[in-house]
Structure 1
Amino acid sequence: MTIQPPGSARPEPHRPSELESGRRAYRRRQQTRSVLIAAASTVVVGALVWAFVINTEGWAKVQAFFLDPAIALASLPKIWDGFLLNLEVLAISVVTVGVVALLIATFRTLRGPVFFPLRVIAAAYTDLFRGMPFIIVLYIVGIGIPTITNTRIPPIVLGVIAVTLTYSSYVAEVMRAGIEAVHPSQRLAARALGLGYVQTLVRIVLPQAIRKITPPLMNDFVAMQKDVGLVSILGAVDAVRAAQIAASQTYNFTPYIVAGVLFVLLAIPTIRLTDWYSARLRDREQMGSIV
């Protein structure tokens, strides 16, 4: 217990001014109004969905052919086993795409006439695979490479090669943009301190570039999560091929919905993380700009 000296007055609690009290009351009224409007609009949208979608004759057919719970549960184990193969291709491709893309981006940012051939090769690579549809790359890799080598290659290896060739071109351009967005004074200061080119790139440039390009890199990762489902073209029994087999056996499209839901659940955490990180960067950059 604190004993106050005789004659000392107890400090009065802080009380906001009338202007600040008015501002707080206005914020509370606006917050309550926003919640009520959001609840009312949600009820209206729900009523419209029920009236024009659920309460129609075609909804029963949609449920029968696309949303059959029994078929969904029966096909889920095989689709899940195929989905694990998609995850394996994705996990390996994340590493290979990152390595190849960083190499290509470094080639494109090299200065000096001696590196002109490397810059041309890197630019041609990105132009080629950014312009070529991914499904064509899959056919060329999945059919062309085994035909040329006359060997049997596992579909997972072919899938990783196709994903790496395509997405490393996109990611390389994102990385190049991030590297070039770092102010030249950062490089000059690092070189003045005695750092070499590689040390400057690894310790100074890349850390700043990664912070700038993280949101677009995450978007490319989401796109890659979806496209790994196309490895079924190579003969792999992944989630899409397992859903196709189940649909052909049941004459029902519910297995495709099951496979689609698995891919959506895989993408949602990355999408939410991208939104959170983008908002965090925006708040950091705009700190102090709002009065």
Structure 2
Amino acid sequence: MSQPYTREVSSIELERRGYRRTRKRQSILVSVGSTLLFAAVISVLLINSPGWSRVSETFFDLDVAVGAFPRVIEGLWLNIQVLFFAVIGVAIFGTLLAISRTLKGAVFTPIRLLAAGYTDLFRGIPVLLVLYLVGFGIPGLELTGRMPPQFWGTIALILCYSAYVAEVLRAGIDAVHPSQRLAARSLGLSHSKTLRLVVLPQAVRKVTPALMNDFVSMQKDVGLISVLGAVDAIRAAQIEVASAYNFTPYVLAGVLFVLFSLPFIRLTDWMTARAQKREQIGGVV
């Protein structure tokens, strides 16, 4: 009966592993120590500054934060709803724009030019200006009935971020090797099926970290709908500031936005690291 194969690790490899573990522990200790030292220095400078007492009362009043929390968290729920529908709209419209920009053939030249002009226009205009133009301009045409400000804010976000997402997806589509298209067509797939089943899945995988960064950025900009009158987290904090004569609600709203975005930021970092690790398999950097 044959003996099962067991891989023996040499003493040199064991020494290498021990050295790596030691270096890793040292790096962790140095990182923690330097971070704590930096935080201590910043804390001492802030607390010993001449105006710290006034700043702490104006921006970090716990009682004011507790009192403003229910209204600010209710406004944040409106931001989440707007973000949900904006993400769906951006995903659909941005994909259509990206496909339009990658169409081949002279007959599709007008479509390519329109898509290129759209992306150039809305990537050049600040989001705040688009919110003003859409939120106050389109209702003035009286094409529809009275719509809530968060509706127009969602439309403005879709118009702006579709341009960014379209360019990211276009870069991903162009990064897919032409042999993938040729192989799919040789198997009898139509152009639309090739794009949907072969090209787009690979393109999205290649640009997922960039798409996640756009999503995190949109989470932040969704707070701009307050300029249209929507009572979101920012406007709720503004109302509380006006009633309490204290800026703590602004800090509270900022903290809530950070806590809301943090899981997606960490997910973006993880996906970026995973993609980098996958691309570097078998290589030394």
Match runs of 1:91-110 below 5 Å: 91-110=84-103
Q: Secondary structure at the match of 1:152?
A: coil
Distance 1:204 1:28 in 2: 43
Match runs of 1:11-30 below 5 Å: 16-30=9-23
Return the offset for 1:214. 0.5
- Counterpart code for 1:84: W
Deviations 1:107-134 (A, max 9, x none): 1100111111111111111111111111
Q: TM-score, normalised by structure 1?
A: 0.92
Distance 1:178 1:276 in 2: 19
- Counterpart code for 2:231: V
Match status 1:245 vs 2:239 = yes
Match for residue 153 of structure 2? 159
- 1:22/1:207 Cα in 2 relative to 1: closer, same or farther (>3 Å)? same
Match status 1:202 vs 2:201 = no
Give the one of 253, 272, 279 matched to 1:278.
272
Deviations 1:111-169 (A, max 9, x none): 11111111111111111111111111111111111111164221121111111111101
Distance 2:87 2:29 in 1: 44
Give the one of 139, 155, 166 matched to 1:146.
139
Give the one of 120, 123, 143 matched to 2:116.
123
Match for residue 82 of structure 1? 75
Give the one of 47, 52, 65 matched to 1:59.
52
Return the offset for 1:45. 1.5
Match status 1:235 vs 2:193 = no
Q: Which is worse superposed, 45-54 or 255-264?
A: 45-54
Match for residue 33 of structure 1? 26
Distance 1:25 1:134 in 2: 53
Match for residue 135 of structure 1? 128
Give the one of 252, 257, 260 matched to 1:263.
257
- Aligned residues with identical type, % of pairs: 54
Give the one of 220, 232, 236 matched to 2:214.
220
Give the one of 156, 172, 175 matched to 2:169.
175
- The number of aligned residues is 282
- 1:257/1:189 Cα in 2 relative to 1: closer, same or farther (>3 Å)? same
Distance 1:35 1:95 in 2: 41
Distance 2:10 2:220 in 1: 55
Return the offset for 1:14. 7.4
- Counterpart code for 2:75: G
**Which structure has the larger Rg over C-alpha atoms?**
1
- 1:14/1:114 Cα in 2 relative to 1: closer, same or farther (>3 Å)? closer
Distance 2:23 2:253 in 1: 43
Match for residue 290 of structure 1? 284
- 1:190/1:16 Cα in 2 relative to 1: closer, same or farther (>3 Å)? closer
Q: State the superposition RMSD in angstroms.
A: 2.0
